[in-house]
Amino acid sequence: MKVTLIGATGLIGSQLLDYFLNDNTVSEVAILVRRKLEYSNPKLKVKLINFVDLQAFESSIIPGSIIFCAVGTTKNKVKGDMSKYRKVDYDITVHAAKFGLEKGCKSFVLVSSIGANSKSSNFYTKLKGEIEDKVSSLQYPHFHVFRPSILLGNRKEFRFGEKVAKIFMSLFSFLIPDKFKPIHSKTVALAMLNASKEKNKGTFIYTYNEIKDLAHN
């Protein structure tokens, strides 16, 4: 299969890329990135683009590929500007989904978040819910939505709040409902790859237990 990946430099995206490059069923991978990455693999194409250049964005998507979207930012990265936050998380994801349909793509695999709900009063979970709703309205034959809670793994940047949450959850994990438990980024990435190989049509939402089960298929 052919794959287009947006968010290859992130915690889950980097794991996805490793899986793609080592999976014999994946014949071609395009990663859409803002800055040059040093990778050497015959089936990898690194597409260096500015995501506001919509023509370049669309042309970088492999026709008929499975689109994996693991893009996301933080308040620190956008310096508290929520409009910039939305432009990264919402605009890039929705444009990728729209362009994918125009390029004949049938499957969209999305990293969302636990609690995603377009009616939420929380900015983050509301935004994630709005993204899910919009992509769902495009009616991809295969739409897989992953809603992990706190992600485990080695991030390139330090996130104080996430570090505190990990410590708290490790101490009181027995009190936490399953869907809110931390999960390793490798587990999420493997589950996403396995989901992309499923033949059933429809919209599928995965939280902690479903992600763990799918990763071990």
Mean pLDDT computed over every residue of the chain:
91
Other Cβ atoms within 10 Å of 159 Cβ, number: 14
* Three-state DSSP state, 179: helix
pLDDT value of residue 122: 95
pLDDT value of residue 176: 75
The predicted model scores a pTM of 0.90
pLDDT at 161 over 70: no
DSSP secondary structure string, 34-55? SS------TTEEEEE--TT-HH
Least confident among 20-34, 121-135, 147-161: 147-161
pLDDT value of residue 131: 98
Name the pLDDT band for 217 (thresholds 50, 70, 90): confident
- Half-sphere exposure at residue 163, Cβ-oriented, CA atoms within 13 angstroms: 6
Domains of the chain with bracketed CATH: 2-215 (3.40.50.720)
* Three-state DSSP state, 3: strand
The model's pLDDT over 162-214, given as tens digits with 9 standing for 90+, comes to 565 556 556 656 667 788 888 999 999 999 999 999 999 999 999 999 999 99
pLDDT at 137 over 80: yes
For the chain, strand residue ranges (E) read 2-6, 28-33, 44-48, 66-69, 107-111, 142-146, 151-152, 183-184, 202-206
Name the pLDDT band for 156 (thresholds 50, 70, 90): low
The model's pLDDT over 76-111, given as tens digits with 9 standing for 90+, comes to 889 889 999 999 999 999 999 999 999 999 999 999
